[in-house]
Amino acid sequence: MTRAIQPLSSAMVCLLALRASVDFAAAAPPAAGSQPAKRPGPAAAVVCQSCHGANGEGSPAAKIPRLAGQSADYLDKQLRDYASGARSNEVMQNFAKPLSEVDRTAVAEYFASLTSPSIAPNPRPTDSQLARGRQLAQQGAEAERVQACDNCHGPDGSGVPHSAPYLAGQSADYLAAELQSWRQGKRKNDAGKLMSSVAERLNDADVSAVSAYFSSLGAP
Amino acid sequence: MVQRLKEVDVVIIGVGMVGSIVGKELAAAGYKVVGLERGEARFTVPEFQSPAVHDELRFDIRKALMQDNTREPVTFRNNSSETALPVRRWESFLPGTGLGGSMVHWNGQTYRFQANDFELATRTKERYGKNFLDKDVTIQDWGVTYADLEPHYDRFEYLLGTSGKAGNIKGEIQPGGDPHESPRSREYPTPPQKEHFQGALFRKAATSLGYHPFPQPSSNLSQPYTNPEGVKLNACVFCGFCERYACEHYAKSVPQTVILPVLLANPNFELRTGCQVQRINLDSTRKKATGVTYIDTAGREFEQPASLVITASFALNNVRMLLLSGIGKPYNPQSGTGVVGRNYAYQTMSSVASFFDEDVFINPFMASGASGTLINDFAGDNFDHSGLGFIGGAFIGAVNTNGRPIQYHPVPPGTPAWGKRWKEAVVKHYNHTVMFSLHGSSVSTRQNYLDLDPTYRDAWGQPLLRMTFDFPQNDLKMAAYVTAKGVEIGKAMGAKQVAGAPRTAPYTTTVYQTTHNTGGTVMGNDPRTSVVNRYLQSWDVPNVFVIGASAYPQNASWNPTDTLGALTYWAIDALKNRYLKNPGRLVSA
């Protein structure tokens, strides 16, 4: 079983119990340590906030990605893919499936509109990891025939709306888990196999380095 | 002082597509090969990476990937009565330089010529009679047939991984492909690229008029591909930066992405960059090449002896190399004698702009250099030319390659060329216009040719190449006829206004048209009308092979690269299996 999100927070376990008929109106408590939401979102977002944080800041250590300021198109597509199974994740599928199209779009737009400071990676990556990560991100590597991540993900991984998510300030553990998932052929909801063809040319050390590098940058 | 280097088996002038493929094959066969490239080494990483590679000012306007014409321009005139002047800014055509050659900045449009094209003189006479053509037209047969080249086309396309839909496999017409194409032995290596909206509009309109639309064969790949050399390519992302640019994604098939990794790993091959070849050296008999002389970036002169010399430069530079080396008799347009520089041809590019209302969104920026949909119903000899007074034709297609902000701003005829009203028109039409390309053939004529300029010299003191060219009447008639057909398709698409722009004379080098310069070292079966034999071997100096689009006796309705790849493999076959086993003439003169 693929499970990018683990361990489960206690709040999520509660919600999983309700998965047959998630009641979005029932406000769930915010994730521990999360600041209260700066502005109220759609009712359907409350469930997301319980793991992804009230302001979409994510929970890096739990490989739960930050959503704040992420491209609405990207978030919307991921929710659709979770619901259809095109992106495989049992936990997310359970939340995504019951969402109506209107709710899904509202949730995506809400998190896209949020801002939240990045959480500094812990432990801090080594200098050599950061150097290799920066090289892969900005320049690529001819020997491995890997092009720069920033070609598609924008300068310093700041994202390109409508086409590629931002990576800067994202949880390093989440990025590494996703890269491994692309690399192993478990995640495949990319157009033209664009991510899998890059990821399959990275080794474990490169995956860690590039994930650590992006994570060390401030989120856009 | 000239430094004489150790003799090698083969020296290749120019390490572009041809040089890379020839080098790879001969090095793998055990020969010691030196590749001399005048430009710099460059690779997908780091040289082609974003954001630098998307600099429109640097690459589109200032032509960063092109031959340095402050040091090595071409001179140009429309006819022999004029004095040619150096082309100081490339516009009409864009010869590249550097490792990978001009192919690095190509669009990836990967067409075969048709069987008829290779026997054009014979077929034209058969179908339309002896006196059909203008007196000055000098078209001729190639000396090879489509059937000769088919396996080599196939090999080249599988090297590139070309994305397309076959229209004719071994004589069986395939739905969705081009029914006019000559038979191919199998399907394309990868399926066509996705059709963009303008392609879909075109397909619908062309179908309604009874034509046969098909997806453009593209070497910007539709999906990841591993070629027979074991080199992997990625899928194209439709960024719209192909022609004039290098691809940052390993998605466009160029030497760097299809063959250089294999070539450069072979210790039998040595790449030397920054080497400006001055001439091919001949022995006292003038019938045998002894190697080449080149000057490096530090100004040092070297002689590289070799048993076999292959010129694999851009078409124009192949011609100049033979003229500078005194190989073959230069063409004289007054007497019509001589061969080197004869039958220079181009292509005759027209366009049709279809302007839609502002609620039709074309999104021209979502394109690759070879995405789109087209018809061959008016290309080549696919329609009856009786009574039309010309031969040849053009493909017509919604194959616009980009919507880049500095260069792409279609506006209706009559719009001022600058100022407020121009800006308003650009805003109004940018995203609501479909541009058709009408990619037309070019006949060779007695008065269009290449020779050495009597006045101007390059940075090394050598005479420049002089181009004497204007559009033949045959091709202007063709352009007018085919453009009218394109306008009908634009109207059938439901556009509010359709403006056809057939190519007109005089030819100018100041407006971009196409980099499909051909001829000048023409191939054939008669040494009086060709520079090289059917295997691209010099008639005069048999240990010199001239491989390039300079071999085309005239130019067909399609982009020339696929045919050049096929000719390259065809020549390699003869080199490996015949010439190198027993050096000498492959065809007796």
A72-84 and A101-113 helices, crossing angle to 10° = 140
Q: What are B63's two structure tokens?
A: 């032509």
Tell me if chain B has a CB within 8 Å of the CB of A38.
no
Distance to chain B for A144, nearest Cα, Å? 10
- For B502-539, what is each residue's pLDDT tens digit? 999 999 999 999 999 999 999 999 999 999 999 999 99
- For A44-76, what is each residue's pLDDT tens digit? 999 999 999 999 999 998 999 999 999 999 999
- Cα distances from B236 to residues A136, B28, B436, in angstroms, run 20, 30, 22
Task: Work out whether the CA dihedral B528, B534, B538, B543 comes out positive or negative.
Answer: negative
| CATH code (residue B211) | 3.50.50.60
> ω before B46 within 30° of 0 (cis)?
yes
Q: Are the Cβ atoms of B44 and A193 closer than 8 angstroms?
A: no
A204-216 and A172-183 helices, crossing angle to 10° = 140
Residue whose token pair is 């058709």: B436
Query: Does some domain include residue B175?
Result: yes
Distance to chain A for B434, nearest Cα, Å? 23
Q: How is residue B54 annotated by DSSP?
A: G
Helix H or strand E segment including A63: none
Q: What are B188's two structure tokens?
A: 């394309």
Tell me if chain A has a CB within 8 Å of the CB of B237.
yes
Distance to chain A for B27, nearest Cα, Å? 21
Query: What pLDDT, on the 0 to 100 scale, is given for residue A34?
Result: 58
| pLDDT over 50 at B111, yes or no | yes
Residues in A closer than 8 angstroms to B237, CB to CB, are 152, 163, 192, 194
| pLDDT over 60 at A16, yes or no | no
Distance to chain A for B144, nearest Cα, Å? 38
Distance CA B157, CA B154 (A): 5
Tell me if chain B has a CB within 8 Å of the CB of A156.
no
Query: What proportion of chain B, given as a percentage, has pLDDT over 90?
Result: 99
Q: Are the Cβ atoms of A192 and B44 closer than 8 angstroms?
A: no
| Closest CB from A138, A141, A194 relative to B234 | A194
- For B456-509, what is each residue's pLDDT tens digit? 999 999 999 999 999 999 999 999 999 999 999 999 999 999 999 999 999 999
Of B528, B517, B525, B521, which Cα lies nearest the Cα of B553? B521
φ, ψ of residue B352 to 5 degrees: the values are: -135, 125
Query: What pLDDT, on the 0 to 100 scale, is given for residue A33?
Result: 52
φ, ψ of residue B176 to 5 degrees: the values are: 90, -15
- Domain of B524 in residue numbering reads as 3-579
Query: Does some domain include residue B575?
Result: yes
Tell me if chain B has a CB within 8 Å of the CB of A152.
yes
Parallel, antiparallel, or unpaired: how do β-strands B168-169 and B301-311 relate? unpaired
| pLDDT over 70 at A9, yes or no | no
Which pLDDT band, with edges at 50, 70 and 90, does A124 fall under?
A: confident
Please report which residue ranges of B452-584 form alpha helices under DSSP H: 473-492, 561-574
Which of A132, A145, A153 to probe by mutation at the B interface, max B CB count within 10 Å?
A145
Catalytic residues of B: 516
Q: For the range B424-433, what are the long-range contacts, defined as Cβ-Cβ under 8 Å and sequence gap of 24 or more?
A: B428/B358, B429/B355, B430/B364, B430/B403, B431/B361, B431/B362, B431/B363, B431/B364, B431/B403, B432/B355, B432/B356, B432/B357, B432/B358, B432/B360, B432/B361, B432/B362, B433/B353, B433/B354, B433/B355, B433/B356, B433/B362, B433/B364
Query: Does some domain include residue B190?
Result: yes
Distance CA A199, CA A179 (A): 6
Contacts A–B by Cβ distance under 8 A: 59
| pLDDT over 50 at B37, yes or no | yes
Helix H or strand E segment including B510: none
Query: What pLDDT, on the 0 to 100 scale, is given for residue A122?
Result: 76
Q: Are the Cβ atoms of A197 and B51 closer than 8 angstroms?
A: no
Q: What are A41's two structure tokens?
A: 């979102």
Query: What pLDDT, on the 0 to 100 scale, is given for residue B589?
Result: 77
β strands within B403-462, DSSP E: 433-440, 449-457
Residue whose token pair is 């063409």: B331
Distance to chain B for A176, nearest Cα, Å? 22
Residues in B closer than 8 angstroms to A198, CB to CB, are 234
Query: What proportion of chain A, given as a percentage, has pLDDT over 90?
Result: 75
| pLDDT over 60 at A6, yes or no | no
Query: Does some domain include residue B24?
Result: yes
Query: Does some domain include residue B20?
Result: yes
- For A171-180, what is each residue's pLDDT tens digit? 999 999 999 9
Query: What pLDDT, on the 0 to 100 scale, is given for residue A39?
Result: 72
| Closest CB from B43, B223, B249 relative to A151 | B249
How far is CA B371 from its chain centroid? 18
**Side-chain half-sphere CA neighbours of B16 within 13 A:** 33
Q: What are B22's two structure tokens?
A: 């020839």
Query: Does some domain include residue B72?
Result: yes
Residue B523 and residue B516 in contact, taking contact as beta carbons nearer than 8 Å: no
- Residues in a beta bridge with B350: B438
Q: Which residues contact B11 (CB under 8 A, 6 or more apart)?
A: B33, B34, B35, B36, B291, B292, B304, B306, B308, B309, B310
| pLDDT over 60 at B126, yes or no | yes
Region A168-193: what's the mean pLDDT?
96
Query: What pLDDT, on the 0 to 100 scale, is given for residue A27?
Result: 39
Please report which residue ranges of B112-265 form alpha helices under DSSP H: 115-118, 120-128, 146-160, 197-208, 255-258, 260-264
Average pLDDT, chain B: 97
Distance CA B476, CA B440 (A): 10
Q: Which residue of B has its CA nearest to A150?
A: B50
Which pLDDT band, with edges at 50, 70 and 90, does B74 fall under?
A: very high
Helix H or strand E segment including B499: strand B497-501
Distance CA B447, CA B470 (A): 8
Residue B120 and residue B133 in contact, taking contact as beta carbons nearer than 8 Å: no
Q: Coil, helix or strand for B325?
A: helix
- For B371-427, what is each residue's pLDDT tens digit? 999 999 999 999 999 999 999 999 999 999 999 999 999 999 999 999 999 999 999
Q: Are the Cβ atoms of A192 and B222 closer than 8 angstroms?
A: yes
Query: Does some domain include residue B126?
Result: yes
Q: What is the domain count for chain B?
A: 1
What amino acid is encoded at B155 in this protein?
R
Q: Which residues contact B413 (CB under 8 A, 6 or more apart)?
A: B499
| Closest CB from A140, A150, A197 relative to B224 | A197
Distance CA A153, CA A168 (A): 9
Task: Work out whether the CA dihedral A142, A145, A146, A151 comes out positive or negative.
Answer: positive
Q: Report the alpha-carbon angle B531-B537-B542, nearest 5.
A: 100
β strands within B231-360, DSSP E: 232-233, 269-273, 276-282, 289-295, 301-311, 342-345, 348-355
Task: Work out whether the CA dihedral B567, B573, B575, B579 comes out positive or negative.
Answer: negative
Residue B222 and residue B192 in contact, taking contact as beta carbons nearer than 8 Å: yes
Residues in B closer than 8 angstroms to A151, CB to CB, are 49-50, 248-249
CB atoms within 10 A of CB B131: 8
Q: Which residues contact B239 (CB under 8 A, 6 or more apart)?
A: B54, B249, B368
Distance CA A149, CA A154 (A): 8
Task: Report the complex ipTM.
Answer: 0.88
Q: Are the Cβ atoms of B49 and A147 closer than 8 angstroms?
A: yes
Query: What is the b/e burial string over B450-473, where b = at least 16 CB atoms within 10 angstroms of the residue's CB?
Result: bbbbeebebeeebbbbbbbbbbbb
Parallel, antiparallel, or unpaired: how do β-strands B301-311 and B289-295 relate? antiparallel
| pLDDT over 80 at A82, yes or no | yes
Tell me if chain A has a CB within 8 Å of the CB of B47.
no
Q: What are A149's two structure tokens?
A: 């991540």
Which of B45, B232, B252, B258 to probe by mutation at the A interface, max A CB count within 10 Å?
B45
Distance CA B204, CA B96 (A): 37
| Closest CB from B49, B223, B224 relative to A148 | B49
Query: Does some domain include residue B141?
Result: yes
Which pLDDT band, with edges at 50, 70 and 90, does B455 fall under?
A: very high
| pLDDT over 50 at A154, yes or no | yes
Tell me if chain B has a CB within 8 Å of the CB of A139.
yes
Q: Are the Cβ atoms of B50 and A148 closer than 8 angstroms?
A: yes
